[in-house]
Amino acid sequence: MKNGSYDLPPEINSVLATDCGSTTTKAILIEKVNGEYRLIVRGEAPTTVEAPFEDVTMGARNAIREVEELTGRRLLSEEGVITPRQPDGSGVDLYVSTSSAGGGLQMMVAGVVKSMTAESAQRAALGAGAIVMDVISVDDGRRPHEKIERIRHLRPDMILLSGGIDGGTITHVVEIAELIAAAEPKPRLGIGFKLPIIYAGNKDARHHIQKTLGDKLDLRIVDNLRPVLEKEVLGPAREEIHNLFMEHVMAQAPGYNKLMKWTPIPIMPTPGAVGLIMQATAKKYNISVVGVDIGGATTDVFSVVGDVFNRTVSANLGMSYSISNVLLEAGTANIMRWIPFDIDEADLRNRIRNKMIRPTTIPQTLDELVIEQALAREALRLAFEHHKTLAVGLKGVQKQRTIGDAFDQSASGESLINMMDLGMLIGSGGVLSHAPRRVQSALMMLDAFLPEGVTTLTVDSIFMMPQLGVLSTVHEQAAVEVFEKDCLIWLGTAIAPVGAGREGEDCVTVRGTLPDGTQLQETVKFGSMKRIPLREADLVELEIHPARGFDVGAGKGHVLKTKVRGGVVGIIVDARGRQPFVLPEDSAQRRKKLLEWFNALEVYPAELLARYAR
């Protein structure tokens, strides 16, 4: 998707971008002010794909109208968004949009071997912004009739079929194709339409695939996404997914054919766009990044490690519609371990259920907020676990091993995500972005992800990552500028030594010169946490001295010299231990520690915390 291939004005000074979410449509206006791109205003309105409206452009117009009201500018005409910017000041140079309305893009994925081609296909689908409903493979443990049953009952928007390296056997992938043909899957949207299926497997099998599936489904053929075991080539599959998304899903969801005419840039699925802005950020700072978007129904986790981008969707972990599932997967014990007061298990369960059936309510008391944030920790933790199992090195690859390698335990299939190397965590979603105190977001992320060494923590202030992501496809500079200056809230930097020690022993000492000239020298004991205020604009050179047995990134007991950025919270020294991170077993002890950390970081109002201490 290169700039030159779209019909754009030579200079882009104003951009209007919308994201049509499943509940709300958000519009943002970006303009070039004094040489830099900044967010000007934001508008929001309910999404209008469901009855009685059934036309997504209505919600988009309402959201854009709010932007018009707030700026006093005219942006809309009868036909849609006015582009380019007119001499009278109306209109914008560019309009772009993303969409997750109608439940987003839902796919089924099939491959031959679960851990190889099926997994690659899964990564292709997730990276394109889809929710993967099921992964079918020859070796997934299900009998043929069970697989068929499953395919018949799913109503995906499309299927991605892969299998076999180029030149390898064709039998297995044709077997899967025959299963799919027998099952006669039906698409979710549009009764009577042929279900789209993308074949991205062994090229030698193309002829048979065409014969088996060509009549019953809308078959598209692209390059093999695993042409040899050592290589994963997801681009062509991802692009075809996107094309089909536009043709089928979008075209049938009400009003999208109209919306598509308003913009020269293809409308992207929201999660695909979020991934793009994360990749752009990782590229700019040359760091690895993990981002999370925790919504009401799903939690998306993104990671950029080197040039490998991965995305997972935990489709059943979220803070409202899926909150009962968080309870189910985590278990009450895991949730209660983060709560510093007594709560009856049945009472906790009823509260969670009632939130599920009335998802738009908010916590009013501190008890309710603490419970909600405890649930968020578990949802984030589980989503990240799920992500780590998918963001792995390619499996089935024979690595050339030297003697040196033999001592290095890394094997194929290992997680790509190294928490010590992780440079930045980006949090997004209501419970993180709208926490009443920013430090609550920082602590939720620390507890859920357990980053190691030195890690920058940020949250998205007002979810506009999708709009910036789609903008980055044609104007990366503008997108990243607005992302850093107006979208991200810099919470600060966490310093978390890896290792375990005895409660009360010295764990790490932090030295440096603060911007006002004062000397910083802080020693933090094992089992405790400490906050060192440092503003966002300040970058400070620190010397971090871990005690013997602890590692902050330079090796056990070795000093790390690094520049560290401040933020709304500042520097958080987390000396609670890593590998392992352990909460006391005894509940009275654990509550005492939780309260100690809450007080040390000023997580909740002190006078209210005092009542928990009684």
459 binds other proteins (CB under 8 A): no
| List 55, 140, 178, 204, residue binding other proteins (CB under 8 A) | 178
If the CB atoms of residues 582 and 608 are measured against other proteins, the closer one turns out to be 608
Estimate the crossing angle of helix 323-330 against helix 345-357, to 10 degrees: 150
| List 174, 213, 253, 274, residue binding other proteins (CB under 8 A) | 174
Give the interface size with other proteins as a residue count (CB under 8 A). 63
182 binds other proteins (CB under 8 A): yes
| List 183, 339, 392, 595, residue binding other proteins (CB under 8 A) | 183
Q: Which stretch binds other proteins (CB under 8 A): 27-35, 251-259, 344-352, 560-568?
A: 344-352
Calpha distance 291→274 (Å, rounded): 9
Q: Of 205-264, which residues contact other proteins (CB under 8 A)?
A: 208, 212
444 binds other proteins (CB under 8 A): no
Nearest to 157, CA basis, from 115, 217, 82 = 217
* CA separation, residue 381 to residues 76, 385, 498 (Å): 43, 6, 18
| List 228, 559, 606, 608, residue binding other proteins (CB under 8 A) | 608
361 binds other proteins (CB under 8 A): yes
How many Cα atoms occupy the beta-carbon half-sphere of 431 within 13 Å? 32
Calpha distance 328→493 (Å, rounded): 33
46 binds other proteins (CB under 8 A): yes
Q: Which stretch binds other proteins (CB under 8 A): 129-137, 233-241, 354-362, 557-565?
A: 354-362
| List 6, 53, 321, 581, residue binding other proteins (CB under 8 A) | 321
171 binds other proteins (CB under 8 A): yes
Nearest to 540, CA basis, from 528, 522, 558 = 522
Q: Which stretch binds other proteins (CB under 8 A): 83-91, 169-177, 399-407, 524-532?
A: 169-177
Q: Which stretch binds other proteins (CB under 8 A): 166-174, 275-283, 400-408, 593-601?
A: 166-174
Does the CA dihedral 402-233-384-492 come out positive or negative? positive
- Name the 3-class secondary structure at 166: coil
If the CB atoms of residues 328 and 539 are measured against other proteins, the closer one turns out to be 328
Between vectors from CA 206 to CA 202 and to CA 210, what angle results, nearest 5°? 145
Calpha distance 72→76 (Å, rounded): 12
56 binds other proteins (CB under 8 A): no
Does the CA dihedral 49-51-53-54 come out positive or negative? positive
| List 363, 393, 413, 584, residue binding other proteins (CB under 8 A) | 363
362 binds other proteins (CB under 8 A): yes
Eight-class DSSP state of 76:
B
Please give the backbone phi and psi of residue 521, each rounded to the nearest 5 degrees, phi first: -145, 105
- Please report, to the nearest 10 degrees, the dihedral formed by the alpha carbons of residues 380, 383, 388, 394 taken in order: -150
Nearest to 417, CA basis, from 291, 318, 298, 295 = 291
Q: Which stretch binds other proteins (CB under 8 A): 159-167, 243-251, 320-328, 589-597?
A: 320-328
Calpha distance 26→64 (Å, rounded): 8
Token output for 176? 């899967």
Secondary structure percentages of the chain, helix, strand, coil, to 5:
35, 25, 40
If the CB atoms of residues 175 and 543 are measured against other proteins, the closer one turns out to be 175
| List 346, 403, 406, 588, residue binding other proteins (CB under 8 A) | 346
Binding flags for other proteins, 298-317, as an x/- string (CB under 8 A): ------------------x-
* Shortest Å, Cβ 208 to other proteins: 5
Q: Of 116-145, which residues contact other proteins (CB under 8 A)?
A: 144-145
Q: Of 374-413, which residues contact other proteins (CB under 8 A)?
A: none
Sequence length of the chain is 614
Could you tell me where the beta strands, DSSP code E, fall in 115-249?
130-137, 158-161, 196-199, 218-221
613 binds other proteins (CB under 8 A): no
359 binds other proteins (CB under 8 A): yes
297 binds other proteins (CB under 8 A): yes
If the CB atoms of residues 316 and 493 are measured against other proteins, the closer one turns out to be 316
If the CB atoms of residues 216 and 283 are measured against other proteins, the closer one turns out to be 216
* Shortest Å, Cβ 562 to other proteins: 33
175 binds other proteins (CB under 8 A): yes
Calpha distance 560→545 (Å, rounded): 7
Calpha distance 469→274 (Å, rounded): 5
Which residue carries 């689908």 as its tokens?
A: 125
Nearest to 225, CA basis, from 215, 217, 235 = 235
409: buried, middle or exposed (CB in 10 Å: 19+, 13-18, 0-12)? Answer: exposed
609 binds other proteins (CB under 8 A): no
* Shortest Å, Cβ 507 to other proteins: 31
| Cβ-proximal residues to 591 (8 Å cutoff; 6+ apart), any chain | 340, 341, 612
| List 10, 35, 358, 408, residue binding other proteins (CB under 8 A) | 358
491 binds other proteins (CB under 8 A): no
503 binds other proteins (CB under 8 A): no
Binding flags for other proteins, 550-579, as an x/- string (CB under 8 A): ------------------------------
If the CB atoms of residues 348 and 419 are measured against other proteins, the closer one turns out to be 348
Q: How far is the first Cα of the chain from the last one, in angstroms, to the nearest whole number?
A: 60
Calpha distance 450→357 (Å, rounded): 31
Calpha distance 439→445 (Å, rounded): 10
What residues pair up with 197 in beta bridges, in sequence order? 159, 219
| List 4, 11, 78, 191, residue binding other proteins (CB under 8 A) | 191
| List 206, 437, 525, 593, residue binding other proteins (CB under 8 A) | 437
Tell me which residues touch other proteins (CB under 8 A): 22, 44-46, 50, 102-103, 144-145, 148-149, 170-171, 174-175, 178-179, 181-184, 186, 191-192, 208, 212, 296-297, 316, 320-322, 324-325, 327-329, 346, 349-351, 353-369, 434, 436-437, 605, 608
